Amino acid sequence: MPWGEFKDTAAERRLFQRRALVMLVLVILALGGLLGRMYQLQIVEHETYTTLSDKNRVQVQSVAPPRGLIYDRNGELLAENRPVFSVTIVPERVDGMDDTLSRLQSIIDVSEDDLQRFDRRLHEPRRPYQEIPLRYDLTEKEIAQLAVRRQDLPGVEVRAELVRYYPHSVLTSHVLGYVGRINREELQSIDPVNYSGTNYIGKSGIEKFYEESLHGKVGYQHVETNARGRILRVLERQNPVPGDDLRLTLDLRMQKKAYELLDGRRGAIVAIEPKTGGILALASVPGFDTNKFVTGISVDDYRELRESLDKPLFNRALRGQYPPGSTLKPMLAVAALDSGAVTRNTRIWDPGYFQLNDGGRRYRDWKRWGHGWVDLRKAIAESCDTYFYTAAVDMGVDTMSSYLSRFGFGENATLDVYGALSGLLPSREWKQANRNQPWYPGDSVNLGIGQGFMLATPLQLATATALIANRGKWVEPRLLMQVTGDDTTDEVLPPTTHEPLKLKRPEDWEYVVESMAAVMESVHGTGHRAAQGASYRMAGKSGTAQVYSLEENEEYNADEIRERLRDHALFIGFAPVKDPKIVVAAIVENGGSGSGTAAPVVRAMFDAWLLKYSKDAPASHNPEPASAEETH
Amino acid sequence: MGLKSTTDGLDRGPLERRPSVWSALHLDPILLLLLAILITGGLFVLYSGADQSLDMVKAQGIRMGIALVVMLVFAQLDPSVFRRWSPWLYLVGVLALIAVLVVGIGAKGAQRWLALPGLPRFQPSEIMKLVVPMTAAWYLSRHYLPPRLPQVAAGLAIVLLPMGLIIEQPDLGTSLLVGLAGMFVVFFAGMSWKLIATIIGMASVSAPVLWFFVMRDYQKQRVLTLLDPQSDPLGAGWNIIQSKTAIGSGGLEGKGWLMGTQSHLEFLPESHTDFIVAVLAEEFGFIGMALLLTVYFLIILRCLYIAATAQDSFSRLVAGALTLTFFIYVFVNIGMVSGLLPVVGVPLPLVSYGGTSSVTLMAAFGVLMSIHTHRRMISA
């Protein structure tokens, strides 16, 4: 190594300077390159990046339309939208979900239910960057506390949202239904554009049936957002078209009356305006608080509702399929008269039972010792079973089935009542197909008093009764009276499809109607007690649906049978007789006898409408004179 | 060694200008002015990039003040002090780097800090940015220049040892800067072009080896992302796409100070640290970028002049290497932000928010000023 040797400093300096020059050239080239790059990005491709930058900051957001309101026929608000502040989380923007949740819990109350519901939603399929609500109904204080801690909680937002609210939720639960958050299946079927800002959708009832009208059209706004999606300002806005407001035929006061009449029991009342088919009241008791369902019901609350013996979620009025029992007799009377199986003068001797052939099974009449000589009017007024056993066998199943189908049995004849069931109208073909058995004459006997296979919902009974009240003119039950702002409901209401039921002798209608009036007016009429003191004439028919059938010689003893095994009490009717303004069908589950339990309920509904609530209730000043005409 | 210093001591030429305040303070006014322009302008950009936080600007101002003091202190020391101390500092530095690997404190999966009892927390790798080139220069300047192969090998060894230790932390960015600073010394010393070509050739051959055996997944990801940012537009590619958008949307004149939508609406990540140049580009446009590059170029030019006029090999080598390191900072940072280079954590020198690198850089400028103002009076 050349230690201590003289170093050529000048040469070293020159060497360095040469190398420095090389480097200087490289530096100039490199910085020139950077400048060139800037030229390329900022001058040449400027347009492209300006577009990108605008696209970045300007976002198109959908604005959910306010849902249409729902009113009763008198303009009473049944469903409204209330602003609710909720705290929501966008999972994509959160750093550490557990951490965020625990931090939120230290600021506001978050219940176990809230967490469970949140967790469930978190794992459901959803749109990316869609907010998941954690808790609703924040108080002012909680909103302020969240605002203070906003910086520590990325992805957490406080949202003001219009949420459905039902002021009379329990009363109207089975009519209006409710809205709830859009679920997986619904997500597949809705229009993704129109629902892009919407979180709620009608789940049942009117809310479901008129979802399209109530929803409205989505609006848009161009907003400037930051990278975290926080809206800084609105640049341009196209307002949404609010959903249509609906006016229903329902009368809240009648609905309330119906509910009160059944309160504490289980049952259903359907009241229809026979001229229009408009449903005045449709009560299924007990009801439930639909407001709980809107923002998502807790698992415990839901279990309680589901497992309740009283089945509050079960819509008895539309979906309760009961044997119609003797309430079917007026319709069968129409069939018997028109088919010629009986005439008004046909009389039979009722010993208290009916036999298809001597020594065969005895089909018992409810009156053990029999009604004696009976014609059709008396058979209806006193609900003579034997008469109808005889008539049923004479008519045969095919005739009965065909006539009953004209009354709307075995089909859902409603226009806009969501979820109504069609009951069961038995026929020869049905029995062969479903039971793989021929139709026996005994089956006809049972059908003659509305027992056996036959099933009908209270709404169907009301519909059939309305046909009698209208003397054959069909009205399909409907809830929609008016779409606010529109003169006609044609656009949203499905068309009517039923032909009027024309009888060979139209005066047979009056005969059956008067027979039903006799139920209320004759001393032995089954509705006699319930009709006392009325200032108008009414027509009705009682019925009792067996919960389980009695053996041939078994004694019926209501006291011995546990309450829930008692017969269902039914009653149908309309009033006034001449120009009916209201039709009512009522069922009181395990109510015992139709005449004792259900008839007063129907009478109370008549009174409420005719004397108090209907538009021409003052007409009660000149009521139809109560006829003392006794029909035997 | 003895001979050289004797010569230095004896030659006091008549060419030296009249003594001024600047030479009394051992400061170079031209370099100081350029640095002041850069730092002041940088604070304005930072105000915008840091979401108009005066607190952050103040904090940065204080750091810059400290850095200026450090520069002033370094400028007072005679270059021979650096030369004599560098091997010992190197030894301590290497030990500290080993200590970091054993007991270091880390964040985000890398151990870079050392907290020794009684000392403030510090990053040994940062100090090595100065110590490694000085030690290489100390070693090489003891020999004839240009160095022969053994000396080149020894010089490279001095560089590669700390470099390897820093890669282990892992801190690829710093290790490259430290390594390059040392390599520049070897280059300026006169390492033969043939050897340079050979090494570059070997490096390119060994690149696949690096790829498969040395580079961590996140480093590979950065390279892949550079090649195709759209492959992961919301993940790693986000930074590049957003910074290019910020730069490009600035246009010729920019959107105006505090008017950059990309940074103010928080689309631009790290807008006050590594990506601050995108804020400048967005708000001041191509004109602003041209001015910035000009200032950087003038600083580099002045420093190369200082290096070229330095009186001994050690000073020349150190000055040249530090200058080019500074240049590398500028090039890598702007190259990365504009999408030419992969994203490595290199700040924009003297503009990005953050203290450590600013202090190191100003210390380097202190060294340069020391070299320039401690010249003996000999003819150049």
Sorted by where each begins, the domain ranges of chain B are 122-215
- Give the closest of B190, B281, B330 to A15, CB-based: B190
Question: Does the beta-carbon distance from B248 to A52 stay under 8 Å?
Answer: yes
Q: Which residues of B touch A37 (CB under 8 A)?
A: 334-335, 338, 340
pTM, full prediction: 0.62
SS3 B109: coil
- Given a cut of 50, whether residue A72 has pLDDT beyond it is yes
Q: What is the pLDDT of residue B372?
A: 92
pLDDT at A509: 95
Lowest pLDDT segment from A109-113, A336-340, A574-578, B323-327: A109-113
Tell me the chain B residues in contact with residue A6 when contact means C-beta distances shorter than 8 Å: 3
Q: What is the average pLDDT across B104-129? A: 73
Cβ contact (<8 Å) for B324 and A226? no
Amino acid identity for residue A41 in this structure: L
Whether residue B130 lies within 8 A of chain A, CB to CB, comes out as no
Identify all chain B residues contacting A228, using CB atoms and an 8 Å cutoff: 266
Per-residue pLDDT reduced to its tens digit, A553-570: 445 555 555 667 788 899
List CB contacts (< 8 A) between A95 and chain B: none
The alpha-carbon gap from B286 to the nearest alpha carbon of chain A, in Å, equals 6
Work out the percent of chain B whose per-residue pLDDT is above 90.
Answer: 46
Q: B279 — contact with chain A (CB < 8 Å)?
A: no
pLDDT tens for residues B144-187? 878 888 999 999 999 999 999 988 887 777 888 899 999 999 99
Choose the most confident range, by mean pLDDT, from A370-384, A584-598, B203-217: A370-384
A448 and A538 share one domain: yes
Mean pLDDT for chain A overall: 86
Q: Is residue A614 very low, low, confident or very high in pLDDT (cuts 50, 70, 90)?
A: confident
According to DSSP, the residues that pair with A611 across neighbouring strands are none
User: Which of A38, A54, A59, A235 should one mutate to test binding to chain B, selecting the residue with the greatest count of B CBs within 10 A?
Assistant: A38
Q: What is the per-residue pLDDT for A550?
A: 47
CB–CB contact A53 B304 (8 Å): no
Residue of A270, A272, A256 whose CA lies nearest to A315: A270
For the beta carbon of residue A485, count every other beta carbon within 10 angstroms: 7
* Band (A227; pLDDT cuts 50, 70, 90): low
pLDDT of residue A629: 40
In angstroms, what separates the C-alpha of A108 from chain B's closest C-alpha?
28
Confidence of residue B110 (pLDDT cuts 50, 70, 90): low
Q: Residue B10's pLDDT band (boundaries 50, 70, 90)?
A: very low
Which candidate, A261, A254, A270, A310, places its Cα nearest to that of A287?
A310
Residue A106 in this model has a pLDDT that exceeds 70? yes
Report the pLDDT value the prediction gives residue B107, as an integer from 0 to 100.
Answer: 60
Considering only alpha carbons, which residue of chain A is nearest residue B267? A227
Structure tokens at B22: 């600047």
Instruction: State the nearest Cα–Cα gap between A154 and chain B, in angstroms.
Output: 13
Q: Is the pLDDT assigned to residue B116 strictly greater than 90? A: no
Tell me the shortest Cα–Cα distance from A490 to chain B, in angstroms.
Answer: 50
Task: Residue B371: list chain A partners with CB under 8 A.
Answer: none
Residue B35 has pLDDT above 80, yes or no: yes
Q: Are residues A324 and A236 in the same domain?
A: no
Residue A104 domain flag: yes
Contact call for A41 and B248, based on CB within 8 A: yes
B335 contacts on A by Cβ (under 8 Å):
34, 37
| CA of B338 vs chain A CAs: smallest distance (Å) | 7
CATH number for the domain including A82? 3.90.1310.10
CA B226: distance to chain centroid?
23
Length of chain B as a residue count? 380
Chosen domain end from A222, A248, A274 = A248
CA distance A169 to A288: 7
Residue-number span of the structural domain to which A180 is assigned = 60-248
Q: What is the CATH number of the domain that holds A361?
A: 3.40.710.10
| Whole-number pLDDT of residue A25 | 95
The strand ranges marked E within A72-210 are 77-89, 132-135, 156-165, 179-181, 200-202
- Determine, yes or no, domain membership for A22: no
Reply yes or no on whether A326 is catalytic: yes
CB contact under 8 A, B261 and A24: no
In a domain, A23, yes or no: no
Is the pLDDT higher at B126 or at B239?
Answer: B126
Nearest-angstrom CA–CA distance, A103 and A584: 57
CB interface of B with A, residues 294-313, below 8 Å? 296-297, 300-301, 304, 307-308, 312-313
Q: From the candidates B185, B188, B192, which should be mutated to test the interface with A, based on the most A CB atoms within 10 A?
A: B188
Q: How many domains does chain A have?
A: 2
* pLDDT tens figures, A13-44: 888 999 999 999 999 999 999 999 999 999 99
Q: Which of A116-125, A449-458, B308-317 has the lowest average pLDDT?
A: A116-125
Contacts with A, B 174-203, CB within 8 Å: 184, 187-188, 190
Å between B132 CA and nearest CA of chain A:
19
Q: pLDDT-derived band of residue A262, with 50, 70 and 90 as boundaries?
A: very high
C-alpha B99/C-alpha B93 separation (Å) is 10
Asked whether the beta carbons of residue B307 and residue A16 sit closer than 8 angstroms, the reply is: yes
**What's the whole-number mean pLDDT along residues A413-418?**
90
Catalytic residue among A169, A204, A213, A326: A326
Given this model, what pLDDT does residue B335 score?
Answer: 93
- Work out the burial of residue B284: count CB atoms within 10 Å of its CB; fewer than 13 is exposed, 13-18 middle, 19 or more buried: buried
More confident residue, A7 or A258: A258
**Most confident region among A465-474, A487-496, A608-617, B48-57 by mean pLDDT:** A465-474
Confidence of residue A127 (pLDDT cuts 50, 70, 90): low
Q: Do A225 and B265 touch (CB under 8 A)?
A: yes
What's the CA gap between A354 and A362, in Å, rounded? 6
More confident residue, A105 or B300: B300
Q: What are the chain B neighbours of A226 within 8 Å (beta carbons)?
A: 265-267
**Pairwise pLDDT comparison (B65 vs A147), residue with the higher score:** B65
Predicted pLDDT of residue B273: 83
Residues A213 and A355 in one domain: no
* C-alpha dihedral sign at A516, A518, A521, A523: negative
CB A250 within 8 A of CB A302: no
pLDDT band per the 50, 70, 90 thresholds, residue B226: low
Tell whether A305 is covered by a domain. no
Closest Cα in chain B, distance from residue A317 (Å): 54
Whether residue A291 is contained in a domain is answered as: no
Which of A233, A248, A263 finishes a domain? A248
Residue ranges of B 36-75 with Cβ closer than 8 A to chain A: none
Residue B2 has pLDDT above 50, yes or no: no
With an 8 Å Cβ cutoff, is B234 touching chain A?
no
**Burial class of A154 by CB neighbour count within 10 A (0 to 12, 13 to 18, 19+):** middle
How far apart are alpha carbons B227 and A37 in whole angstroms?
Answer: 16
The token pair that represents A550 in the structure block: 């009695």
In this predicted structure, the answer to whether residue A2 has a pLDDT above a threshold of 60 is no
> By percentage, how much of chain A surpasses pLDDT 70?
91
The better pLDDT of the pair A9, A524 is held by A524
Q: First CA to last CA across chain B, in angstroms?
A: 21
Please state, as a whole number, how many other Cβ atoms lie within 10 Å of the Cβ of residue A434. 11
Q: Which pLDDT does position A4 carry in this prediction? A: 43
Size of interface A-B (CB pairs under 8 A): 149
Does A231 share its domain with A328? no
Determine whether the interchain pair A49/B312 forms a contact, defined as Cβ–Cβ distance below 8 Å: no
Nearest to A42 among B250, B265, B296 (CB): B250
Mutate to test the interface with B, among A24, A29, A41, A43 (most CBs of B within 10 A): A41
pLDDT in tens, B260-316: 877 776 677 777 888 899 999 999 999 999 999 999 999 999 999 999 999 888 999
Does the pLDDT value for residue B57 go beyond 70?
Answer: yes
| 3-state SS class at B307 | helix
Asked if residue A202 has pLDDT above 70, the reply is: yes
pLDDT band for position B19 (50/70/90)?
Answer: low
Residue B299, number of CB atoms within 10 A of its CB: 24
Label residue B52 exposed, middle or buried (CB < 10 Å: 0-12, 13-18, 19+).
exposed
The answer to whether B285 contacts chain A (CB < 8 Å) is yes
Question: pLDDT at residue A496 above 90?
Answer: no
Under an 8 A CB cutoff, do B266 and A226 touch? yes
